[in-house]
Amino acid sequence: MRTVLSNKETQQLQHIAIIMDGNGRWAAKRGMPRSFGHKKGAERVKEVVQAAGELGVKYLTLYAFSTENWQRSPDEVNDLMDLLRQYLKSELSELQKNGVRIVFIGEREMLPADIRSSMRRLEDDTKNNAKMTVCIALSYGSRQEILQAVRKIATLAKRGDIKPEEIDDKMFSDMLYTQEIPDPDLVIRTSGEQRLSNYLLWQVAYAEFYFSEVLWPDFDRAELEKIIENFNKRERRYGKA
Ligand code: FPP
């Protein structure tokens, strides 16, 4: 199997975060309802998880549903929740076979109870898989994530458990939903939009960005390989000369 990451490059590109955008436009171009685009999009998730694993990516974070997405029509929210339900129920054997650990980030309390318990089960059943971690951002908003971290730290400081001068990068990162996940090296947004949309604002401080014109339901292994090759040519200096 072809791998586009050499050992050296694998160390550099550990974590890819994707904003899967363009499902609605993909469906509209075919005269179909938005739900059709989301269904195709969910199929792409499976293919891209597998391809990323084969290419040696250790962490893949996918923006499946943002806190802002709750404002879409009730029908569309229901369609997305149904797709997630199906995904959570159907994927376990595939994920086990491929050594994939699943974790979720986001405001779980806002999700339906049955989805929350499927999420817990999937996290638990895959927790010992070590080949790759897929992190699904569900009901996720980065500002909300940062605010809950600030509240936790303020509470600790008020109780006298920590001193304000002890608050550093590491402590703050540990209070985020992504606490045990390294920061993304590369953020990909599909569909030609060039926005971050409240995604991993703290975590992407030194990430590289790639905006792909491809709509998410058309995104495939070839496009992922092309993007990784582009990333490998970049020089990351982290602010140093
Ligand atoms: C953006 O397209 C996509 C979403 C809001 C949802 C992403 C969800 C999936 C790919 C399917 C379910 C996920 C999993 C993990 C099974 P859009 O609707 O904003 O498209 P548009 O910008 O063209 O309208």
In the chain, the number of structural domains is 1
Decide: 103 in ligand 1 pocket, CB within 6 A: no
Whether 165 is covered by a domain: the verdict is no
Whether 83 is covered by a domain: the verdict is yes
Domain of 81 in residue numbering reads as 15-141+182-232
Confidence at residue 10, expressed as pLDDT on a 0 to 100 scale: 45
Confidence at residue 1, expressed as pLDDT on a 0 to 100 scale: 47
The stretch 28-50 carries a mean pLDDT of 97
- The CATH code of the domain that includes 219 is 3.40.1180.10
Confidence at residue 152, expressed as pLDDT on a 0 to 100 scale: 97
pLDDT exceeds 60 at position 4: no
What are 53-110's pLDDT values in tens digits?
A: 999 999 999 999 999 999 999 999 999 999 999 999 998 888 999 999 999 999 999 9
Percent of the chain with pLDDT strictly greater than 90: 89
Select from 19, 23, 122 the residue to mutate for testing ligand 1; criterion: most ligand atoms less than 8 Å from CB.
23
Whether 118 is covered by a domain: the verdict is yes
Confidence at residue 7, expressed as pLDDT on a 0 to 100 scale: 45
What are 96-152's pLDDT values in tens digits?
A: 999 999 999 999 999 999 999 999 999 999 999 999 999 999 999 999 999 999 999
Task: Name the closest-CA residue to atom 16, ligand 1.
Answer: 42
Whether 158 is covered by a domain: the verdict is no
Whether 76 is covered by a domain: the verdict is yes
Select from 21, 61, 95 the residue to mutate for testing ligand 1; criterion: most ligand atoms less than 8 Å from CB.
21
Task: Name the closest-CA residue to atom 1, ligand 1.
Answer: 21
Question: Do the beta carbons of residue 68 and residue 139 sit within 8 Å?
Answer: no
Whether 201 is covered by a domain: the verdict is yes
Whether 137 is covered by a domain: the verdict is yes
Confidence at residue 225, expressed as pLDDT on a 0 to 100 scale: 97
Percent of the chain with pLDDT strictly greater than 70: 95
User: Can you tell me which residue has the tokens 């339900």?
Assistant: 85
The stretch 178-189 carries a mean pLDDT of 96
Decide: 106 in ligand 1 pocket, CB within 6 A: no
Whether 211 is covered by a domain: the verdict is yes
